[in-house]
Structure 1
Amino acid sequence: MNAQDDRVPQDGRFDYCPWLFEKEATPEQRAAQLAHQRRLTAATGAEIGDRCYLSPLAALHPDRFRLGDASYVAAHAYLTGDIDAGADCTFNPFTTVRGKVTLGEAVRIGAHTSLLGFNHSTAPDRRVHRQPTTSRGITVGDDVWIGSHVVILDGVTIGDHCVIGAGAVVTRDVPDWAMVAGNPARFIRDRRDTRGRPARRPGGAEGTRRGADLDARLADFAVAAREQAPALLARAWDGERYVDRPGARPTVRAHCDAVEVADLLLGAPPAQLPAVAHVERLRAAQDPVTGLVPELGATLPAPAADGLVDDGAALYHVLSVGYALRLLDSAPAHPVRAVAGVTPRQLTDRLDRLPWADRAWHAGSWIDSFATAALWNLELGAEPGAPGTLEALFGWLLTRVDPWTGMWGRPAGDSGRLQVVNGYYRLTRGSFAQFGVAVPHPERVIDTVLDHARDPRYFGGERENACNVLDVAHPLWLAGRATGHRADEARAWAEDQLDRALGRWREGSGFGFGPAPESTGPGREPGLQGTEMWLAILWLLADLTGRSDLLGYRPRGVHRPEPARALTTPV
């Protein structure tokens, strides 16, 4: 419906600047606009909220159209299909929105932008215009600014608080708070990071050449990894379940790693199963009594005296299964019951007993699993524990941290800082990073981590494995968001590791975990675990050097950089 109605008193400013209507329209113009909306509603069944303006010059031919309060449609906007827009949304001049499109609240769409929530098939047996159309739909969250001349393709989800730069072509999901631009759209920075991404590269001709070489290698890797991802995932499918690599036994983690790798490189679930089947398998793996997930064909480990599990695959499955389900737009079927019943006193007693003196990694991994279980309980509407339990966790950590290292535990003579640094990553991943709480003593953290990164037992030559590099890269990234302390050294280390990591990719089969005792990693052979971890490591290293936009992906699962849920209670 777009015919000019002679009975509507015209003011071209409102057609092209519809936000002026609410303040400047005369009573006659308001009455005419309401009459126009009534005719539109009668003709199309549209639902139009209060204080809206729809230009008579817009072409509105929807199958279904809902427009929230205080929203506007400007001149020459072209809207068809199934469109659902929340309050305070603006469709600026020459906007095209077609197919199934859902907008949250406060979404601004720039002029000449297209949201295309449908697609044509491209089979070679008939002309394109005779092909059937498909529609997965486009979803846009709240508080999103979409610039002018942007194209958003079918199947894309854009999170809350995002900014889409002018001229971007968005072909895959955009996480909350992301600012993206380019064709195809790439991550620029987190909108909350007012300092922006680090931009300095090594000076001089040698640094410039190395920087340009790394840029090219990183961009080439991103293209190759996406092209090879389907074969990599098929290689890990034994016909019934996922294995880490051919010849290995199926595991829960392998299935979760497959979901993470597919999300990173393909923006979709692994093709070996329909999305709903992935969800069903992972949800069915959860024990309904405890909420934990045992290994395939195994039973859950016996709980300790306080009802909590100490070690084993079940603890890591709290992370891997929970985040795999989240990537599949689902959630665990049951809360983690043992965590839901823990009192602050029980928790602090357990924290006191953890093996900080000689096994700080195990202590940190236990906290990671406990805090992540509390997260899923919150997401499911259950209690994370008895009242005050999460606050007790952060209170204990903040009062026990070593101010000289910024960490928990003590270095050991036989392994140096390995247990302390690796335990710090697991501990802060599940607590401070996952809940968006600032880490204490970030300068001391950086000092400790950079000192550990010079230990020749773990770094240099071919001694690096995914666990050890990740457990340095993430603390440098996390603490570096709070301080510029030794930023040049952190960047130089990350650039050197980035150079090394890119050389570890195996065509068609991915990354190997790297040299490690059998108990702590799958070894050098390429597989799903190594690939999932090194893809996340590459992003962290690239972001530390100002290059993460070249990868075209951003981790959204276990190794996501953003908090999964903000902790609203002060700590």
Structure 2
Amino acid sequence: MGLRQELSVEHFDHCPWLFAEEATEEQRVAQRERQRSVGGDSEMGERCYVAQSAAVFPDRLRLGDDSYIAAHAYVTGELTTGTDCTLNPFTVVRGAVALGKGVRIGAHTSLLGFNHSMAPDRPVFQQPHTSRGITVGDDVWIGSHVVVMDGVTIGDHCVIGAGAVVTKDLPAWTVAAGNPARPVRDRRDAKATSAARPGRGGDVLARFAETVRAQAADVLGRCWDGERYADRPGTAPTVRAHCDAVEIADLLLGTAPEQLDTGEHVRRLASLQDPDTGLVPEFDEPPPAPDDDGFLGEGAALYHVLSVGYALDLLGSSFPHPVRGVREMTASQLVARLEGLPWRDGAWGAGAWIDTWATAAHWNLRYANGDGTRPGSLETLFGWLLTRADPWTGLWGRPSAAAGRLQVVNGYYRLTRGSFAQFGLPVPHPRRAVDAVLDHARDVRYFGAGQENACNVLDVAHPLWLCTRQLGGGAGDGGYRSAEIRAWAEGQLAAALPRWQDGRGFGFGPVTSGPGPEPGLQGTEMWLAITWLLADLLGRSDALGYRPRGIHRPEPAHDGHDAHAAHDGSPKG
């Protein structure tokens, strides 16, 4: 009798790695039917195996290629895996769980991506469930009889010893053991000290900064077409690309990009501003037509208020004209505009509009004789924002089933960047904002392995940085939820630094959203700022030797004196 006939379904259930090579055609047909019978919203990759004896009852299941669920495993809730993932016999995976690529989960291990409430007003069995989810990175080995609790993130390349109980996040390359699990060593070097671990010691950041500073000129040069800057070679030149080049050169080199002298940079950028509206259109496009209240609701010209304004500021100059739509808008027009923003289904766009309006007001306040904004306009803006913030989340807008908190958190960053942060004012409900942002940071759709992009990481890092500073002390000083903030920052920093491509810079993100994975000026400018924010959350930003001074500057940009400084419309400096 041949080997193929001798291996039963029970054998494959316990040793599923044999199935691809040893199963009979009849067994393959039965396995395909088994996979089709799995309920919920389920999709299986190529060469997957789901044991007949496994209890698999998901709400949502995405099983990557060459992955298996072995005998007597128990799977419910939402499970997403990368390729080559294994759930060995008697594993339990419940709640929201996301695994990266090449994850091995030992027998009798439980990943519990949910929890019970424990309020004293009712019996435990009547308590509602909560779920923050579990995220596991790439190339992770979780031993047998391990328990991973809800809300935990395990970084890439970690190893978790048998019998451990993981209650807190673990940064990449950690070998952990015990109950509760604690780091034992760095997987790459049994004798490594904490100061030598990536993301932990300043030496890694210093080496990174030395590398990017040495390559900054090459990164800028590859995006110069001989006349203008493009985000990436082969793409059309844009106004934003020119501004990103100015930001990168200022950050890393302390000077203007070498392709033009400083005066020519200023002349080119300042001449783009339409003297009537004060707005900056895209290259070779006419000035945008304002709405009835004199301002815009969408389009590239809105972001140019930020990017061109700060590029000129870094070059020692400024806009030659005020932004008319902000200068002339009445308080009632501003309230009508704020009320009409898409808070329910487009909170990012709403926040971006406020960022632009407030930044235009910041630039306009440099003009004397009341030529910047109408009296009471800024008070109207901040009064409206303070009375509309949700006291339960600290945010503006509402999450949705389709996008989770993506819109509201990304909108929170843009809104607070241009208003409270830029003007040096405290945000409302900072603890609730930290809670909401950390909850969003566990959403595997945006922060699962290989899903992060510059926009989404920045829009978590900056709110956490802003709120922790307001609450007193950094994340390392025993501040509010400091351990979770540090663990998140450690993981993101460890993932970000290796993404630098020599002579080319950073891509926006590994997936196709935004500019995509190809290295370019926008991705480089944003990830350099993100790196500073993450490092500063960990108390290590000094090792970088740079500090953002433009759009992503940490300090308030408006010092309260601009409104009293005479400005004749000519560039300063």
TM-score higher than 0.5 here?
Answer: yes
Q: Does 1:394 align with 2:382?
A: yes
Q: Indicate the residue corresponding to 2:523 in structure 1.
A: 530
Which letter maps to 1:310?
G
Structure 1 residues 515, 363: CA separation in 2 closer, same or farther (over 3 Å shift)? farther
Alignment match of 1:508 (pick from 478, 503, 512): 503
Runs of 4+ in 1 over 6 A off after TM superposition: none
For the 8 Å contact 2:391–2:429, the answer to whether it is kept is: yes
Aligned to 1:473: 461
CA distance in 2, matches of 1:310, 1:482: 31
How many Å separate the matches in 2 of 1:348 and 1:480? 30
From 526, 538, 546, the counterpart of 1:553:
546
Q: Do the aligned partners of 2:532 and 2:541 also contact (CA within 8 Å) in 1? A: yes
Between the aligned partners of 1:562 and 1:516, the Cα distance in structure 2 is 32
Residue 256 (structure 2) pairs with residue 269 (structure 1): yes
Q: Are the structure 2 counterparts of residues 364 and 531 from structure 1 closer, same or farther at C-alpha, using a change threshold of 3 Å?
A: same
CA distance in 2, matches of 1:478, 1:403: 17
Give the match's secondary structure for 2:501: coil
Please list every run of 5 or more consecutive structure 1 residues that lacks an aligned counterpart in the other structure.
1-200
Residues 69-127 of structure 1 show CA distances to partners (whole Å, capped at 9, x for unaligned) of xxxxxxxxxxxxxxxxxxxxxxxxxxxxxxxxxxxxxxxxxxxxxxxxxxxxxxxxxxx
**Whole-Å Cα distance in 1 between the matches of residues 491 and 531 of structure 2?**
12
Q: Distance in 2 between matches of 1:248 and 1:489?
A: 40
d(CA) in 2 for partners of 1:212 and 1:305? 59
The counterpart of 1:361, out of the listed 341, 348, 351, is 348
Q: CA, structure 1 residues 568+451, in 2 after alignment: closer, same or farther (shift >3 Å)?
A: farther
Whether contact under 8 Å (1:262, 1:270) holds in the other structure is yes
Aligned equivalent of 1:325, options 292, 312, 318: 312
Partner of 1:372 in structure 2? Answer: 359
In structure 2, the residue matched to 1:83 is none
After TM superposition, give the deviation of residue 563 of structure 1 in Å: 0.1
* 2:410 match: 422
- Judged with a 3 Å threshold, the aligned counterparts in structure 2 of structure 1 residues 505 and 292 are, in CA distance, closer, same or farther, namely same
Secondary structure of residue in 2 paired with 1:379: coil
Aligned partner of 1:543 in structure 2 is 536
The yes-or-no answer on 1:497 pairing with 2:492 is: yes
Between the aligned partners of 1:302 and 1:209, the Cα distance in structure 2 is 60
Whether the 8 Å CA contact 2:293–2:325 is kept in 1: the answer is no
Distance 1:206 1:396 in 2: 51
TM-score (norm 1): 0.63
Matched letter for residue 272 of structure 2: A
Deviation at 1:300, TM superposition (A): 3.0
| Secondary structure at 1:481 match in 2 | helix
Alpha-carbon contact 1:436-1:567 (below 8 Å) kept: no
TM-superposition CA deviations, 1:365-424 (whole Å, max 9, x none): 000000000000012335442100000000000000000000000001100000000000
Shift of 1:357: 0.2
> Is 1:250 paired with 2:251?
no
Q: Does 1:385 align with 2:373?
A: yes
Report the equivalent of 1:300.
Answer: 287
1:348 aligns with 2:335: yes
5+ unaligned residues in a row in structure 2: which ranges? Answer: 1-173, 177-181, 187-191, 472-478, 563-573
CA distance, structure 1, for counterparts of residue 419 and residue 195 of structure 2: 35
SS at match of 2:289: coil
| Distance (Å, rounded) in 2 between the aligned partners of 1:391 and 1:471 | 26
| AA matched with 1:212 | A
Equivalences for 1:57-68 in 2 at 5 Å? Answer: none
Cα distance in 2 for residues equivalent to 1:436 and 1:257: 24
- Which whole-Å CA distance do the structure 2 matches of 1:316 and 1:508 have between them? 27
Q: What TM-score results when the alignment is normalised by the length of structure 2?
A: 0.62
Residue among 397, 409, 427 paired with 2:397:
409
Checking the alignment, whether the CA contact within 8 Å between 1:364 and 1:423 is kept in structure 2 is: yes
Where does residue 92 of structure 2 map in the other structure?
none
The correspondence for 2:481, drawn from 471, 479, 486, is 486
Amino acid aligned to 1:282: L
| CA apart distance, 1:307 | 1.9
Q: Deviations over 1:337-385 (max 9, x none)?
A: 1110011111011100000000000000000000000000012335442
Following superposition, the deviation at residue 456 of structure 1 comes to 0.2
Q: Which residue is equivalent to 2:25?
A: none
Shift of 1:211: 4.8
Residues in 2 aligned to 1:376 and 1:568: alpha-carbon distance in whole angstroms: 12
296-305 or 541-550, which deviates more: 296-305
Structure 1 residue 529: Cα displacement: 0.2
Whole-Å separation in 2 of the counterparts to 1:380 and 1:330: 13
- CA deviation after TM superposition for structure 1 residue 305, in Å: 2.1
Superposition RMSD on alpha carbons, in Å? 1.8
Please give the secondary structure, in 2, of the residue aligned with 1:464: coil
Aligned to 1:114: none
Quote the residue 1:234 is aligned against. 221
Give the Cα separation in 2 of the matches to 1:342 and 1:276.
Answer: 33
Distance verdict in 2 for CA 1:516–1:379, change over 3 Å = farther
One-letter amino acid matched to 1:206:
R
| Distance apart, 1:217 and its partner CA | 2.3
Aligned to 2:197: 213
Contact 1:432–1:439 (CA under 8 A) maintained in structure 2: yes
* Aligned: 1:338 with 2:325: yes
